[in-house]
């Protein structure tokens, strides 16, 4: 793999690292700085999606459950008709029906109320759930809280024996809310090598070292186009579609896991890029054609 063309853009893209695997083998790894654990921002959402897959597999949660049932003690005084229709599935597809972005990075330190679950559910549900895509941290945050409540532990503790340990990832740090709930919408810290392993697991349809960790049908469902969104490429369960018909975990500043089914490959990047989509564009233009 010749990274010369990609490397020519690296400085302007503020690249930190790239790993490329194909047919189960790492064919290229290059880091521009130490491979230390960094905030993967919204790529954390795809780990919450993975956790939901385990919870569904274990019978802890059903995607058709109503939010008014699973968060019965956290509801606003007046429950709107749209809120009464919202389900767990809507948490995963960004189709809750709320038009307001919420729990975003610059907002979280400034909330006076520590109970973010009640805050999130008090945001108006102005659209019918399942009909309008609106990117927000509310859905994945509530999905993560629900998993934690049903499992009786935080997300890191839940995922450690199911995902992190099998993949050789030592217990990571993950942001939490003021009440101690893991913030499933962001704030997970991983190295690029650790981040890359989630992509490999998904490319291998949930199998790792001969063991089926996550059901293949969950991999297929969660990475399929569940809803139209801001791009023409669709959105699954906290995974983005891309222009090649593949899917990605996507975090702020271009923390990416790009899963290329047609090439049996995974490309993972970490960066501090301030131009949305620039790293993905460079990967598809300079790396993809060589696979």
The pair of structure tokens assigned to 236 is 């699954």
Q: Which of 112, 92, 17, 20 is nearest to 49 (CA)?
A: 92
CATH number of 4-290: 3.40.710.10
Q: Which tokens go with 212? A: 């089926």
Give the model confidence (pLDDT) of 183-225 as tens digits.
Answer: 999 999 999 999 999 999 999 999 999 999 999 999 999 999 8
Q: What's the whole-model pTM score?
A: 0.97
Reading the block at residue 244, the tokens are: 């090649």
What's residue 246's pLDDT? 87
As given in the structure block, the two tokens for residue 126 are 């102005």
pLDDT higher than 80, residue 122: yes
CA distances from 188 to 40, 143, 219 (A): 6, 15, 21
Reported as type and span, the H/E element at residue 218 is helix 216-222
The set of residues, in sequence order, having a beta carbon less than 8 Å from that of 129 and lying 6+ positions away, is 82, 85, 86, 87, 90, 95, 96, 97
**Upper half-sphere CA count for residue 285 (Cβ side, 13 Å):** 12
Residue boundaries of the structural domains of the chain:
4-290
Please state, in angstroms and rounded to a whole number, the distance separating the CA atoms of residues 264 and 286.
Answer: 17
pLDDT at 33 over 80: yes
Whole-angstrom distance, CA of residue 269 vs CA of residue 76: 41
């Amino acid at each position: 793999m010749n990274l010369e063309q990609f490397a020519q853009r690296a400085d302007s893209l503020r690249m930190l690292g790239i790993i490329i695997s194909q047919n189960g083998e790492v064919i290229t790894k290059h880091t521009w700085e130490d491979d230390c654990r960094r905030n993967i921002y919204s790529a954390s959402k795809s780990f919450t999606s993975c956790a939901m897959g385990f919870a569904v597999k274990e019978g802890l949660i059903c995607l058709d459950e109503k939010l008014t049932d699973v968060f019965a003690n956290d509801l606003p005084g007046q429950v709107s008709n749209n809120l009464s229709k919202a389900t767990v599935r809507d948490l995963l597809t960004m189709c809750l029906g709320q038009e307001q972005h919420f729990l975003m990075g610059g907002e979280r330190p400034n909330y006076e109320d520590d109970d973010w679950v009640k805050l999130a559910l008090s945001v108006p549900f102005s659209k019918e759930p399942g009909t309008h895509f609106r990117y927000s941290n509310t859905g994945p945050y509530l999905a993560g809280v629900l998993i934690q409540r049903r499992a009786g532990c935080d997300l890191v503790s839940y995922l450690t024996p199911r995902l992190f340990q099998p993949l050789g990832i030592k217990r990571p740090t993950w942001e939490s809310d003021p009440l101690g709930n893991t913030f499933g919408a962001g704030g997970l810290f991983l190295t690029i090598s650790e981040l890359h392993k989630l992509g490999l697991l998904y490319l291998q349809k949930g199998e790792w070292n001969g063991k089926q960790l996550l059901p293949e049908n969950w991999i297929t469902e969660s990475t399929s186009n569940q809803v139209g969104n801001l791009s023409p490429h669709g959105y699954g369960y906290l995974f983005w579609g891309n222009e090649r018909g593949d899917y990605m975990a996507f975090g702020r500043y271009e923390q990416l896991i790009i899963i290329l089914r047609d090439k049996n490959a995974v490309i993972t990047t970490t960066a501090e890029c301030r131009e949305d989509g620039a790293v993905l564009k460079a990967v598809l233009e300079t790396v993809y054609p060589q696979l």
